[in-house]
Each structure stands twice: as C-alpha cells, then as structure tokens.
Amino acid sequence: MKIYFKSRKLKKQCEDPKEAQKEYGARIGNKLTQRVNELKSAPNLADIKKIPAARLHRLEGQRINEFAVDLVHPFRLVFKPILEGNANLDDLDSITVVRIEEVIDYHGKQKRK
C-alpha cells in the first residue's frame, strides 16, 4: 500500500523507531512502527482487516471518512483512504493508498503518553 503522511514530523515518527519511542514511549512507539510497516506491506486495507490485533475499524461522527488501527490501548493510528479509480470506502480491497493523520486517544483525555 502507498502511504502519505499529514506532516514531515509525523512521517519521521512513524518510520523511525527511535523517534517514535522518543515521542510516544517504548510500547506505543514500537507498535506504531509495526502498524506502519504492516500498512506498507499490505496490498490493500482488506489485508489489514485480517490482522486481528490491528483491529481495523471505520470511524464515525466527525471522523466519518477515517479509519483507525489499535496501537496500545487507548491509542490509535488514524488514517484517511485516498480513493483512486473505482475505489470506495465500503470496498476495502479497492483501497490501496492512505494518508496517516495522527496518533491519538480520541476517546478522551490525552493526546499521547
């Protein structure tokens, strides 16, 4: 899958394990780089859905066009599909490009750590 990032800083955190650990701590940092590598290796989002621990899920409300995968509870890696050709949000096999938006606990209290 092709991956874009919301910012250069986020790209560095997602691709460099040391940067990820520095920003989010060892557990979240390691899981973040693991999930990003899984996204890069998968041909489409349907393959990510097959990884039980990732728990790919579509978001709702203000984040209706976004998806997330689990990191370390309660943190999630949030991304938006970039639809190309005949791709649509309901067909995970058709989604081959995503843009990573953020690492967040969107359930409430903290943004990180």
Residues of the chain with pLDDT > 90, as a percent, come to 82
Lowest mean pLDDT among 18-22, 37-41, 58-62: 58-62
User: Residue 107's pLDDT is what?
Assistant: 74
Residues of the chain with pLDDT > 70, as a percent, come to 95
- Do 100 and 10 touch, CB atoms closer than 8 A? yes
User: Residue 82's pLDDT is what?
Assistant: 94
What's the rounded Cα separation, in Å, for the pair 9 and 6?
9
Q: Dihedral angle at the C-alpha atoms of 40, 43, 48, 51, nearest 10 degrees? A: -100
User: Residue 85's pLDDT is what?
Assistant: 84
Q: Please, what is the average pLDDT of the chain? A: 92
Q: How confident is the model at residue 113 (pLDDT cuts 50, 70, 90)?
A: very low
Q: What architecture (CATH level 2) is domain 2-104?
A: 2-Layer Sandwich (3.30)
User: Residue 109's pLDDT is what?
Assistant: 58
- Do 33 and 26 touch, CB atoms closer than 8 A? no
Lowest mean pLDDT among 20-24, 63-67, 109-113: 109-113
